[in-house]
Amino acid sequence: MKKGNKTRQAAPLPPGPRGLPVIGYLPFLGIHLHKSFTQLARDYGPIYKLWLGHKLYVVISSPSLVKQVRDHDVTFADRYPSTASKIISFGRNDIAFCPYGAEWRKLRKVFVRELMSSARLNASYVLRKRHVEKAIKDVYQKKTESMVLQGAPNISDLIPSLARFDLQGLERKIHVTFRRLDQIVSSIIEERRKLGEGNSVGEEAKDLLQVLLDLNNHGDYAAESSITDNQIKGILVDSMIGGTDTTSTTIEWTMAELMQHPDAMQKVHKELDEVIGRSNAVEEFHLPRLHYLEAAIKEAFRLHPALPLLVPRCPTEDCQIGRYTIPKGATVFINAYAMHRDPQLWDSPLEFRPERFLDENAAKFDYLGNSSQYFPFGTGRRVCPGIPMAEKMLNYILASLLHSFEWKLAHGSTEVDLTDKFGIVVKLEKPLVLIPTPRLANPELYYSYS
């Protein structure tokens, strides 16, 4: 671009390692991608590029640069889904991977207004309470007992010309998984439709599926609040992945950290006894007073964000971030894992210390993605739309499990193995196995659960 007699050159691409050979990049992607990306940031700085096959990746690990991405939120609002994600989301007919535009805005508006509003969440409390109570009863009676594919590296995503060969066999596995998933979801939808014929359900008894079916029954799919069958399926899969899987994973990480830190567990129990008492069961109205438990959950999210690289973004045009150009179509990862553990941002960042989220920091570090230092649910206009439900369920389930039982490690173990395994959701490599002992004063509280 010329200005007067001077030629203004475009900013360069970010620094980074040389492109990895076809044989070499699969071991690099490995099972700890978030940790590999964090190590590369130490070598190349807070923004760097990575050529994997024919695909350009850009990784950002700096709060100031994340803020710049948020300032260009519309440009970075699109997604670049993997082959697995496109299939599992029923052709990008969900909220997570739907291309940014009118259809995505419609889906998100429907989800937030119809499913995540205060009125809807309050109306569905009876359903949540019933399922949490059943879980507590099952534990008392000693009943103890997709995502990997979406996180798996696929050569076809890196070198599209190789897609027709399916060299790793991943797409065959994905399609098998998808067919099973489609059959299950379709049968659930069909059974509910048959059950619902001629029956009216009160608002307080409606679950997620019933709300979606009511919107589907409008018939006019061009209408503002009508959705298609595939969009119902896509939102249900989003809810299973973004709700069920991430919630259960975060519960496990929080329990693991509390078991590793008995002093913190003791503080949680003390708070539960003071707020609820051992003669009562947990109710949702108790939750706003459980400040230390909420801080423990936030600290678990800091150390173990369920999606450490969030959902990758894809700029719709060239954009300058910092001193560098991020080209249109690049895949952009925001490394929340690195920033949540950055010693320049956090005091003793590898320590589990819930107290850092108490007092004045309690409001500063919420889940809405407004802080460039802490954003376990993402940031910008594509921040997770299910935060209100996730926050309620996480606090409610953990409060109920911790209030109802004392827990000890199984098999005589004295330490928890906190090694993780990478997928689209990062979990403990070895599932946490604990032994519960009832701690409520009245045993009838367990049997009164429905």
Residue with tokens 């329990």: 255
**Is 319 assigned a ligand-binding role in the annotation?**
no
Report d(CA 384, CA 242) in Å as an integer.
8
Report d(CA 336, CA 34) in Å as an integer.
9
Question: Residue 137: phi, psi to the nearest 5?
Answer: -65, -40
Binding residues: 384
Binding residues for heme: 384
